[in-house]
Amino acid sequence: MKQEKETGHEQGMQGIRCAHCDLPIEARDELAVAGRTFTLSSMEPMHVRCYAEAAKEFKAVSLGSEPLNGPIYTTKAALAGVAAVVLAMLTSFGPLRWVISAILLIPLLRRAASWVLLERRLPPE
Ligand SMILES: [Zn+2]
């Protein structure tokens, strides 16, 4: 196990532990954020290798094929965000478009929450 880094930045912050193997995750590039359901709060930090294992085990429970902090999810979330904005401007769709726009914004919110709650707290490598 690596020694605690003396940055002072981490003081008062609890370490991030892997939801799969329960060992600490020490760097951002080791982190894969699993989002099991379509809600903001259900995010589980895992090691990249543990995510791969868990993804196999939990395939039936919609772990999602890629972690929230990966480039694929980030791209999808960004595209959904753009679609939400475009849709919100299409007045001919009526009030229903606000509902759909809100749903389209969820991936972006989850992506942001993953950053704020998990990734931001880890050193880049
Ligand atoms: Zn792990």
User: What is the DSSP pairing of strand 31-35 with strand 43-47?
Assistant: antiparallel
Using 50, 70 and 90 to split pLDDT, how confident is the model at 39?
low
CA distance 101 to 22: 37
Cα(79) to ligand 1 centroid in Å equals: 30
CA distance 79 to 82: 5
Instruction: Convert the pLDDT of each residue in 70-121 to its tens digit.
Output: 999 999 999 999 999 999 999 888 899 999 999 999 999 999 999 999 999 9
Amino acid at 118: L
Position 13 scores a pLDDT of 52
Quick one: tokens of 89? 């401007």
CA dihedral 107, 113, 116, 119 (to 10 degrees): -70
Cα(91) to ligand 1 centroid in Å equals: 47
Cα(64) to ligand 1 centroid in Å equals: 17
Position 2 scores a pLDDT of 46
Tell me the pLDDT of the chain averaged across its residues.
Answer: 83
- pTM of the predicted model as reported, rounded to 2 decimal places: 0.76
Cα(83) to ligand 1 centroid in Å equals: 35
Using 50, 70 and 90 to split pLDDT, how confident is the model at 4?
very low
Q: Which residues pair with 31 in a beta bridge?
A: 47
Task: List phi, psi (to 5°) of 14.
Answer: -75, 145
For residues 21-45, give the mean pLDDT.
Answer: 85
